[in-house]
Structure 1
């Protein structure tokens, strides 16, 4: 039985010897899922997703206490304290992300107020995230994810399963789907509808959208979506900066945090302007909360990478916790006349001798460009944030040099 089961609701957490690495891995995965779930809940007014956020937040509280206890037990001398201090910072930052996600979810659950025009202004998404309960008669029951093979057949991924109080984050090919599992599905909208019905036995109800868009509100919504994407990227880069002890990646986390701060200021201005066109300005309270919580997440990303920026040695337990995948995130600067200078990026992949996926570009005159949102052309001076294998990363860095 999972030693954490039941503790989130009982309020009592006793010390037990646990692997700090395993706890940090789960905290990282939980923080990333919390960001995704909380924004999906609020942008689509989904109370079921919002409640899952609060369940995960309780889980994170227990994980944070476990990690702190284990780290305190590990300190035996000043050298240990110096190495483990940044780890405590990472634990606290994950907790801050969790709290911010909970605040976002409560916008929906406490009916804090969100204007109906917000959903009219919401950008069309290529993918959506939904929650479904596995029906006993579903064709997926008692089959492994490898056997079901959803992603290759439909493009839909099961990003997490909740089985009672137990969470299965990043379920693998050998994970078996069981009746009454709560499944979190992500994928293209038409495909998600079909998979949801096969999984739950109920038709998927597409949220209705009513009302006319308000220009300033549309700008505010587009800005908050961009802030959310930049904050997610900052968290990804922060963990990667710790893994590779990369001051360059840590500096990009700071650059992202500065950008999110600037966007929050614009977001607040557009939200306040939208109040003049709203029949009841009080319904804009939720938007203000959303902007504030998003800024907290980007600040937490800086806290995760703080040890790297302050030139602390990366503790081995942190390196092991983050190094769970062969896929890595890299930062390269494109030199003029290099093989990447002038190359087009389509669907995230540069038209070059490389399999690296470009996630984002920081361009001196334009700021941050999220490649998932648009195709782009690489220019000299661009800083590319990319994801791929270690071998591909080495080759990609060579292509960026003159």
Structure 2
């Protein structure tokens, strides 16, 4: 039985473990934290993400708990409609809490060896790649046929492929919270654009609502009370936005600076090593496709893992995943530049005027292109 080591037990790492298990591999998952957990709030899963979950035999489990989050379009901060909601299937999303999705994935990898409190120090590519790590405070080494780096934007595994790729700050930060659903909660995912600020609201499982507030900010800035800081950032938005952001959150409001990887990786693989999710292609969240790309990666890897030759598997994985994910990285950055990065009110008004003129069909075609994906054939 071939062996795989997955570094990172987030959504992408657990999904990769599920795909490899289904292909008959023995899988070890290494997680730096002391317990399996997911930090985050809500996530929107489009039909591409659901297709990936279906390939992992988890689509029905996610649909059973997630809620319909049909796109409701984009509005100005004061509520004027900019881009209309569309009526086609590609506009249909499932809203779910990240911890709910993570729990479904964790329950599905019961046959894997999950090692917590395991800090990977270095990965050595090769026919039998080696992983140096500190496990429960002791130096150790593990060897496998394949190492999957699903350890996020600050990936240690990525150094096995390229160790000089910088992580770029965007110049913006994002607050995220989850509150109880209200009578005035929009029926689906809705966005509002301000000057240098963006807000989104989406219903998720448990009769809850996920909100985010993104705004321009210096890197590393923190506030004594991040919830109050998010409320202040949304001050100029219409009442329905302010009411949701200021509501009592079910857990402390999260804040993270928005960062991205440049599209400078010429390959996602090295002998015996593959990168997955943010470790390979961390993108700005302007398209809402970060989790979806990790799930697509994992489903693709799971299909290809049935191949006997690991080098062939890795070559096919790189050819299938790198062009698509890097295209979306670039698109996410361009959307950021034309929307969230626009700080001057006059320029924001000009941007709004341009968006107001975009035909609904054009927006639908772009959305359809982004979400039109299916896993490779086995």
Report TM bin, short chain. Answer: under 0.3
> Relative contact order, CA 8 A, sep 6+: which one is greater?
2
Bigger share in helix: 1
- Provide TM-score, normalisation by structure 1: 0.26
Bigger share in strand: 2
Rg (Cα) greater in structure? 1
